[in-house]
Each structure stands twice: as C-alpha cells, then as structure tokens.
Structure 1
Amino acid sequence: MTFVAPPGYQPVYNPTIPYVGPIYGGLREGSSIYIQGSIPEDISRFRINLLCGQSESSDIALHFNPRFDGWDKVVFNTRQNNSWDSEDKIRRMPFSKGERFELVILITSEGYQIKVNGNDFHMFEHRLPVERVAGIMIDGDVSVQNINVIGVRQLIVGGMGGGMGGGYPGGNMGGGHPGGNMGGGYPGGNMGGGYPGGNMGGGYPGGNMGTGFPGSTLPGMGGQPVYNPPVPYQGMISGGLFPKRTIIIRGMLPYGSSRMAVNFVVSRNNDIAFHLNPRIRDGLVVRNSLIGGMWGNEERELNFNPFVEGQYFDMSIRCGNQRFKVFVNGQNLFDFSHRMHSFNEIDKLEIDGDVQISYIHF
C-alpha cells in the first residue's frame, strides 16, 4: 500500500531528460528546489529553466545554463515574450565532469540563491514575479536522480492546507536517491508553506524558526530541512510525534559499511520506542525497542532490502496511531507497531553508524 503526496509536493525520481514538469502550487519566498544528479565526462552544456507556464515556449523566470566550452562559465538569464534579456555570465564552474552534484535553488526576496554541493554560487535577482513560476524544464548533458520542491505556496484543497513539503513518497517510484555531501549552512528564514516552526540550531543560520526546547543543547527539528548533519546525530523533535507526522532521511552507505541505526527516543528516560537497524553485511533490517532497559523481540521480515553498500537511499518514516510505516525509495518496506502507548512522548531522533546523511526533514 502506498500513500500519495499532499497537494503541492511530489518528488520526481530518475526523470527522462529532457524533462518538463509542473510545480504544483507554484513558488514563494522561502521555497527551495533540490536537484541531485551527475555530470557526464563528455558534457558540453545543460540548462534548468523555471517556466512561467508548463511548456517550453513559456516565459522563463530563471535560465541556469552551465557551459563547458573551454571558457567554462554559467549563464543566467530570463526570457519574456520569446525575447531573451541580458545575460549574467559567471566565469566559474561549480560542477565537475564525471561527478555527482547537489543543487539547491533557494527563493529569497531578492532573487534565486544558487548553492552547489553546499557552497553558495550566485544570487540571480528577480526579473519576473516568482509567483508566475509554474513549471521546471531540465535538458542537455545531465543525469538527474531526484527533483524535490520544498515549501510551495499554500493551496486550499478540500479544506486542507497543502504545500506541506517534506516527505510523502508518491507511489511506487523506485529509484535510488543520491545523497552526496551538502556541506555548508542552509540559510533559514520563515519558510511558510505549511511548515511548523521549530528551533533548528546545530550551526544552521536561521530566521524565524521558533523556540525549541528550553535547557536543551541539542538542535531542535521543526519545519526546516537539516543538510549534511554529522553522524552520530542527535536532534530534538519539535512538537514530538503525532499521527501522520513524517520524517524524511536521505543518505548513502559508503563501501565498507557494516551497520547503521535510527532511533526514536523518549529523552526523559532514554527509552527507544523504535530502533531501526540495517545490518548491511548480514542483509538484515532489524527492528526493535528498548523500554525500561530491556530489549524487546526483534522483527526481521522484509519484502526487499534497499540498504546496500555504495547505494543511496530516500527513507520516509510515518507515525500513525497504531504503527510506524517505513518507505524506502518510494516503496513500503515494513510497518512497526507501537510498543508504548505514549508514542507522543518521543522527542529525540538519533542516527548512528556507517552512514552519510545528506538531508533530514519533518
């Protein structure tokens, strides 16, 4: 059984290039577009266009065009009424031939802040209203593993606020999710778009991010994504867990990995309500709980095992009234029934082991 994305959020896995697709709900200040992919050795150029419509002939609010032509540069521009405006040429190249990349396009009040592999690259000032953006096009010499739009404008559909972002896999989409090493701080701000607040902390410069937990030195996790946290990782869960709350964890298992663990913890007594323990060399994914100092019965049954050395994963853990539902790469991996009645007391996330984490988001 799968569940679909709320309005305004739908990650795209392994799209065919050239790709043209909608951005349901459009963009707003505080939205971000997160693209992971790789550059072939024989690249000439590729481009990413933010379209004021859903066809290639639409006006273009942002034209992002890396060119490997001996005079490596990245060209920025806009197009209105089929006429190109003046080019911004940045004579630096943030991409490397034959290498993976992570690109974040953050929409600010000034323009589009471009980050590549965690490093600020360029701010392209708005020339067209960002509210007009309705689609994205990618073509040229590039391979894309994932397109993820976070913090879209609020939609009201059947009385429910949409544009929540952050993590409902849309059906059986499969496909590995390249992680990579984002590095660098992530500029915060008031994300809006249906995100609850929260104190992110942890070295990530923020804006209007709420209060977090008094007396705690751990970063709190609210609506802001956390990029490239160190492992072992500990973070407070702002607001605790409640039905339908979902966490997204993206990362990769380097070659030589033995095991990793994800723990949902009650901080007041250090009970582990849910222990998720992929044992890579044994081909197992063990689930358990540690309550009152005693481990419970292990659960090991699996339909498939996505945790493999050298592979990326995109994991979604959804809390329900009776159980956790765990999806990896868009497919339901297993369910884990609650073993403590007060699962809403869970207030801390821990990640440990032989794993690189690129992204955490509630």
Structure 2
Amino acid sequence: MSFVAPPGYQPIYGPTIPYLGPIHGGLREGMSIYLQGSIPESITRFFINLLCGESESSDIALHFNPRFDGWDKVVFNSCQDGTWQSEEKIRSMPFQKGQVFEMVIIVTSQGYQISVNGNEFHTFQHRIPFERVRAMQIAGDVSIQTINVIGVSLPEHSGFQGMGGQPIYNPPVPYSNMIPGGMYPKRTIIIRGMVPYGAQRICINFMVSRSRDIAFHLNPRVREGIVVRNSMIGGTWGQEDRELLCHTCMSIRSGNQRFKVFVNGQHLFDFFHRLQSFNEIDLLEINGDVQISYIHF
C-alpha cells in the first residue's frame, strides 16, 4: 500500500494567489507555518491572515501586511467582529523586491513569532486565542511556492507516528545530530532544502552512531541528474541503486522492510533495509552543497 501524507503534513505547492485554505485541525502551541515565495519588482503590498474560520469574513487572529510605500514597513493587526484593532507598525522591511524568501510563523504561548530568511523579525502578541484559527489567507503582490504547516497533532489511531517535537530551522551544513528516539516503523522525517546553482555534491546519511554504519546513503548527483542510494556496513559499500533526480521537499518514511522516499508529495523510490535491525539507526548526517531550511523528525 502506498504512503499518503496526512493532510497537515502535505505541503501545498504553487497555490494561486489570492489563496484561502484550511489549516487542518487548527493551531496548537509549538506548531509552525513555513512559507517559501518570491517578491515581484513591482510590489506595493501583500498580506497573510490567520483566520478563525474558512471564510474571508472570519475574525483575523493575525494580519501580517508588508507595505512598500516609500516608508517601507510591516503592519500587524487583528480583526474581531468586523472591527480592526490597533495596528503595530514595524518600520523595517525583511523582504527585498525581486528576491525569494523563506518565512516561518511559530505559535508560542505569548504570540506568533515571525522569522524571515532565518532572522527573527517580530512577535505579535495573541489577541484572539490561537486555538480558534482554522484557515490561512494570502493576497496581494506575492508569489508563493510552498505552504507547509508543521507539527500538527494527529489522533493516535491515524496510523501516522513520529512527527513530534520542534522543527530545526536553517541548520548549518555539514549537519550531524542524533535522531530523537531513533528510527522505527511508520516514522517520517521531512527535510526541506535548496540546492544552489552549481552544486556538485550532496549526501544524506542515516547511520548507526556506535558502529558508524550507514544504513541508508542518499546521494543526489545534480550534474548527472540522478539520485544514488547505497549502504556502507562494516566499512564496505554495497551495490548502488539509481533513480532520476528530483528534489525540493523530501520526506523519508521507515517501514519494517524499507525506506520510502517522497519528493514534493510524490513517491519517488523505495530502499530496502540492508541492516538486520534498522531500529539501531539513530544518527542523521547531511553534507555537501545544499542549504537546509528545516528538518522535522
């Protein structure tokens, strides 16, 4: 049976602007919203609203409104019962005309913590309980490539496990860190990144820390247009598997018999376990010419 990501983990790619879409299950503390997009040269303004319903007339818990009007600023606000409340104006502009951006909205107990391109920008204090948020609205002079709601709490009987904890944003590469709780059946790890022009070498390794065995070696070779998969057990490389290259947002799901790799929500390939006990895998390493936006265990 093929794996289909649950609604909260399935990124939305290339949405039409204006956009209005649900946030499945609403918001909870610790969740975050990841946006990747670009700003046109001719921009005047755009906005992102977190809505307390799935219609444009719903209360707005967060109104985020960058304005390029000669006095560049970002306006924050909320709207309740059809009435706008007091504006917060930040007279600083984290976006640049004609440039791509990455934006993260993190839900904390105090407010919405906004970061742009890896830099913390502003925290908008809650005026309306974040538990009421049910949808997102985006409109204006902006192009969005990806929307991803991270950290959705799923019911135990859903069959999707292992997506707990806080995402790691903009980690430095080379990256090496323990996998909290190790690998186990039905665990999914999402890696979002960008391969810069001219990239030559990238590798993602799922390893056993005590032996340094590489249970799953994932090696996109950009110039050749392929993805090589392999393992290295007892210091010896195994036989390579190869697939056509495809990258942007990758999710890797473990099962009893194999790793299943999905790219941009589509199943790309399987890699069958070569270690006798794959639950010994407890280390993730990423090296090479890649910029990682986030890792979510």
TM-score of the pair, normalised by structure 1: 0.78
Quote the offset at 1:70 in angstroms: 0.7
Quote the offset at 1:343 in angstroms: 0.5
Answer with 351-360 or 63-72: which moved more.
351-360
| Contact 1:78 1:84 (8 Å CA) reproduced | yes
| Contact 1:149 1:165 (8 Å CA) reproduced | no
- Give the 3-state SS of the residue equivalent to 1:258 in structure 2: coil
Quote the offset at 1:3 in angstroms: 2.7
Unmatched tracts of structure 1, length 5 or more: 167-194, 196-222, 308-312
User: Which residue is equivalent to 2:28?
Assistant: 28
| Contact 1:47 1:65 (8 Å CA) reproduced | yes
- Partner of residue 275 from structure 1, selected from 210, 217, 221: 217
Structure 1 residues 50-101: Cα deviation after superposition (integer angstroms, max 9, x where no partner): 1110010111111111110111111111111111112111111111101111
| Contact 2:162 2:186 (8 Å CA) reproduced | no
Q: Structure 1 segments of 4 or more deviating over 3 A?
A: 7-10, 154-157, 159-162
Quote the offset at 1:8 in angstroms: 3.9
Identity %, equivalent residues: 72
- Partner of residue 183 from structure 2, selected from 238, 241, 256: 241
| Contact 2:162 2:187 (8 Å CA) reproduced | no
Quote the offset at 1:361 in angstroms: 1.2
Higher strand share: 2
Structure 1 residues 101-135: Cα deviation after superposition (integer angstroms, max 9, x where no partner): 11111112221111111222112111111111110
TM-score of the pair, normalised by structure 2: 0.94
Unmatched tracts of structure 2, length 5 or more: none
Distance 2:124 2:272 in 1: 48
Quote the offset at 1:161 in angstroms: 8.3
Task: Provide the alpha-carbon RMSD of the alignment.
Answer: 1.8
Equivalent residues in 2 for 1:192-211, closer than 5 Å? 195=164
Distance 1:268 1:123 in 2: 41
- Give the 3-state SS of the residue equivalent to 2:293 in structure 1: strand
User: Which residue is equivalent to 2:256?
Assistant: 321
- Partner of residue 268 from structure 2, selected from 310, 319, 333: 333
- Give the 3-state SS of the residue equivalent to 1:230 in structure 2: coil
Change in 2 beyond 3 A, CA 1:275/1:148:
same
Residue correspondences, number: 297
Equivalent residues in 2 for 1:1-362, closer than 5 Å? 2-6=2-6, 8-152=8-152, 154=153, 156=155, 159-160=157-158, 166=163, 195=164, 223-300=165-242, 302=243, 304-307=244-247, 313-362=248-297
Distance 1:361 1:117 in 2: 18
